[in-house]
A = this chain, B = another copy of it.
Amino acid sequence: MSQVASLDLVQEDIRKVEELMYAQANRHHPELQAAINHLVISGGKRVRPALALMVGEMLTGDKEHIITLAAAIEMLHTATLVHDDLIDGSLLRRGIPTLNAQWTPGATVLTGDFIFASAARLAAETDSVRVMRLFAETLATIVNGEITQMFRSHGLASREDYYQRIYAKTASMFELATGAAAMLSPVDENQINALRKFGYEIGMAFQIVDDVLDFTGDQVRVGKPVANDLRQGLITLPALYYIEEFPEDPRMKAVMSGSTSEKDLQTLVFDIRESGAIEKSIGESSEFIERGILELQVLPDNPARQSMIDLSNYIVNREL
């Protein structure tokens, strides 16, 4: 985390967010506490809470409520990961064993539920009905997206489908982080809307970069096998660019019908990498970032705003 200089401004508050996350399991069952501790420790870069905290800094929002909001959002994010890993049967995340690698499905479901409950409890502690509403809407969007993905027809590869999916999966929560933090700050509707838009744009970019990393990242650093999405028949932006150029590639058709061989998959990944699809995808994520940064023009020019711009640029450049 320390390598991301743009997070320095909110580093101390991120500690407070993490403490609040640990505290959710206090007075609850010891096994549950251990699980929550494990999940919080193995968390990622805390980009979502960092964004909420930066918005609060920029707008001199209510600090205590924004820390609570940031913890609520990171708990929500964590809960969705716990259930996702269970559903996918993933045994590792960020190179660390998942909960369901160690626990029964039942215990994993309930731990996810408990983390959802903690997230809801924290969100309620922001004392803002409007934040609560956005929070609940976002949860519904995320889960509906997962259900749509689960029931999706094999062989579906459309941009519309892709953008909807990454909005539900990622951008909706970024939008929540920036929008809800604005709602807890002394600003007008115009600025709240600009910050929701900002969160949306950089969230979309963040997921596109994640999808690119699935093609280009090395297995050890990313903590999961390369081209995991494609292996599961999930068509992300690099694959979409490739399909647009080579609509008849039989290997892609095999991937989409769920009948590919590992060897074909590997040569396909190689060809996608060589096709320019990666560069086009990165270019597209940069466009999202640029649109996001433009939204910040209506907001106060101060170090926090600069940190948000730095973090946005970091999102495209990380680990590529």
Question: Chain A: residues with CB nearer than 8 A to chain B?
Answer: 28-29, 31-32, 83, 86-87, 105-107, 109-114, 116-118, 120-121, 123-125, 127-129, 132-133, 135-137, 139-140, 142-144, 146-148, 150-151
Contact = CB atoms under 8 A, between A and B. Distances in A.
Contacts of A86: 105-106, 109
B83 A109 contact: yes
Indicate how many identical chains form the complex: 2
B125 A128 contact: no
Nearest to A138: B117
B139 A120 contact: yes
B135 A120 contact: yes
A136 B110 contact: no
Which of A107, A150, A151: most chain B CB closer than 10 A?
A: A150
Given A120-B135, A124-B135, A151-B31, A143 B83 contact: no
A28 B144 contact: yes
A136 B117 contact: yes
Contacts of A132: 120, 123-124, 129, 132
Contact of A143 (B114, B125, B127): B114
Interface SS of chain A: helix, strand, loop or mixed?
A: helix
A105 B116 CA distance: 18
A123 B135 CA distance: 11
B118 A140 contact: yes
Contact of A147 (B114, B120, B144): B114
A125 B133 contact: yes
Given A124-B136, A129-B129, A111 B29 contact: no
A142 B123 CA distance: 18
A142 to B, nearest CB: 8
Contacts of A140: 114, 117-118, 121
Contacts of A111: 147
Contacts of A128: 129
A32 B144 contact: yes
A83 B113 contact: yes
A124 B113 contact: no
A110 B32 contact: no
A121 B133 contact: yes
A110 B83 contact: yes
The 4 closest A-B pairs by CB, nearest first: A87-B106, A121-B136, A120-B136, A117-B140
7 contacts: A28-B144, A87-B109, A110-B150, A112-B113, A114-B147, A121-B136, A121-B140
Given A117-B140, A136-B123, A148-B29, A109 B109 contact: yes
Contacts of A113: 83, 112, 116, 139, 143, 146
Contacts of A107: 147, 150-151
Which of A113, A121, A123: most chain B CB closer than 10 A?
A: A113
A10 B121 CA distance: 30
A139 B120 CA distance: 9
